[in-house]
Structure 1
């Protein structure tokens, strides 16, 4: 409880269960139990997940999460930020202009995009793009990525900084 600095919930999980997994359920329980009218939430970077961002949007609660530094690519290798996502046709465009097309969505909600190995084999950036024996690059994107991007953008606003 931010107003009175009172702990309003405790919950025990196994050591291998991250707090972010149970967060939305605990938030719902506190709202229901105490009648909290939650206007906004501020969360540290450990809670910066697509699932929490989407869950907060579904509950119409604006959220702000701490910055989570992306894992850097290996030295000399292209990272996901070097590829540009586009909607039509859906996929990622590599620095050489090839489209990594949608391949599948896994059970965890990640959409997988893959390049065409026939094109990649002759690419001058192949060695810095992938070490895959099939000469294929893949990138994943969560189905709720846009919700996460909107929540991340809140952090940069004056309102978000105050939260």
Structure 2
């Protein structure tokens, strides 16, 4: 906590100066490019945190009929995606690509089978649903007996238990 400005927040972000800051969150009308809302938070508050409240404020204050939004990658969160889907608001949100460990298959190379609530690995073996963690991610795991002898094992996992785990958020459908 800052001794000179306790309302500020300590921000740590890649490529940014580390320290106590504030962030301003601006909403811009897409048609006329007017700033219609500015909201200030401490620097340690994630960009996506105030978004849903600010969107609701735009709708109630101005009577906007929001049909579409464009957001940067910081707003690609499941709660935001779920609300936009629920309100039938078309969204374009940038995506950060995360790389798996070197030499491992990407998640997109595993096919999700909605009807069976399973994933299929590239050689078509199932990863079955096991549990949903407290963060809302369903965990799908491979059968170690099958994986142990798979010629592609080194492309799936480095696990000593020969198990591949894939997570899928309960609201992943809103993202898709």
Q: Shorter chain as normaliser: what TM range? A: 0.7 to 0.9
Q: Which residue of 2 aligns with 1:96?
A: 123
Q: Which residue of 2 aligns with 1:108?
A: 135
The question of 1:38 aligning with 2:66 is answered yes
Selected match of 1:16 from 24, 44, 64: 44
Structure 2 Cα separation of the partners of residues 55 and 34 of structure 1? 19
Structure 2 Cα separation of the partners of residues 25 and 55 of structure 1? 11
Q: Which residue of 2 aligns with 1:48?
A: 76
Q: Which residue of 2 aligns with 1:130?
A: 157
The question of 1:84 aligning with 2:111 is answered yes
Unaligned runs of 5+ in 1: 150-163
Structure 2 Cα separation of the partners of residues 45 and 4 of structure 1? 23
Shift of 1:37: 1.9
TM-score (norm 2): 0.75
Unaligned runs of 5+ in 2: 1-28
Q: Which residue of 2 aligns with 1:28?
A: 56
Q: Which has the larger radius of gyration?
A: 2
Quick one: higher RCO (CA 8 Å, sep 6+), 1 or 2? 1
Q: Equivalent residue of 2:98, what SS?
A: coil
Report the structure, 1 or 2, having the larger helix content. 1
TM-score (norm 1): 0.80
Shift of 1:88: 3.1
